[in-house]
Amino acid sequence: MIKSVAIIPAYNEEVALGSVILRTLQYVNRVIVVDDGSSDKTSQIARLAGAEVIKHPTNLGKGQGLKSGFQAIDDEDVIILIDGDGQNNPDEIPKLIAPIESGNADFVNGSRYLEKSEEDDTPSYRRVGQKVLDKLTNISSGLAITDSQSGFRAFSKKAIPYFKMKETGFAIESEMLSDAADNGLKIIEVPISVRYDLNSSTKNPISHGVKVLLKIIKDIELRRPLIYFTLPGFIIFLIGTISGIWLFNDYINETSINFETTVIAIVFVVIGLFLMLNGILLDSIKKLINEKL
């Protein structure tokens, strides 16, 4: 029989945490709550509900919370991540565990948007931001994930060593997907439900989204230099070249030429070439490093 553990990162989640733990314990052997510097009774409630508690003295971020939780894993075969704000449904844990038990997956991502009926429950401002983050995460990872920011996931024991856990904040969700994809882990998604009527989350969705967006863009720079540098460079080079041809045509036809426009066209060509070559060089270096590892 497989052994399982659930890790719940929590920051001021006293409102819904107790219920989440009690329901989660119906499906796993252990629950580990990482209290990330909460100022309320998160730790006390977690212990009373039957969870093991790791407490950070200050708020270090979700990524650091998950890192602490992973370090506390013993010999469990399956690891589940679930948020402590009550938006995830612990009764859906078996859906996430099943593909790992059957050997069909190493990483199971719970998606709020895999079934269109769930998408209707998502506030529109959240879904617009989610689509942007999903697209950029997929560019970075080379995947086709429908819910890159889901906090409801399951992993096989085999997957854990591949997570670098460099991100300290909420961008950890995207980083984990990219790490899993880079190492050839079997990743699938299963549909999950979500509640937005509890208002127990401590996240500001706008600041959260902006921070994650910037982190993902930085990640694309490191993982996909051809996309980050070469593609924009080609566009800039193309604009400069077309402008140069247009200006040269004016010169041939003895039409007056604007000196400033000519200089701008030349600058565009030079910058475009620089970015393209920079992207190609960085991509070659990245491939060489990966071959050495």
DSSP three-state, residue 40? coil
Q: Could you list the pLDDT tens digit for every one of the 293 residues in the chain?
A: 789 999 999 999 999 999 999 999 999 999 999 999 999 999 999 999 999 999 999 999 999 999 999 999 998 999 999 999 999 999 999 999 999 999 999 999 999 988 765 445 666 666 777 888 888 899 888 899 999 999 999 999 999 999 999 888 878 999 999 999 999 999 999 999 988 766 555 556 566 677 778 778 877 887 888 888 898 999 999 999 998 888 877 777 766 667 788 888 899 999 999 998 988 888 788 777 666 55
Residue 227 tokens, joined: 């996309």
Q: How many CA atoms lie within 13 A of 95 on its CB side?
A: 16
Q: Which residues of the chain form beta strands (DSSP E)?
A: 4-10, 30-36, 52-56, 78-81, 107-111, 153-156, 187-191
pTM for the whole structure: 0.78
Residues 203 and 176 in one domain: yes
- Is there a single domain that holds both residue 30 and residue 120? yes
User: Could you tell me if 194 and 231 lie in one domain?
Assistant: no
In a shared domain, residues 104 and 143: yes
Shared domain check, 260 and 124: no
* Residue 46 shares a structural domain with residue 169: yes
Beta-bridge partner residues of 4: 78
Contact (Cβ atoms closer than 8 angstroms) between residue 39 and residue 73 = no
Rounded to an integer, what distance in angstroms lies between the CA atom of residue 45 and that of residue 13?
A: 9
Residues 13 and 124 in one domain: yes
Do 209 and 99 belong to one domain? yes
When divided into structural domains, the chain yields a total of 2
In what side-by-side order are the strands of the sheet with 52-56?
52-56, 30-36, 4-10, 78-81, 153-156, 107-111, 187-191
What residues make up the domain containing 207? 4-223
Same domain, 194 and 261: no
What does the angle CA 232 – CA 235 – CA 241 come to, to the nearest 5 degrees? Answer: 140
Q: What CATH number has the domain bearing residue 59?
A: 3.90.550.10
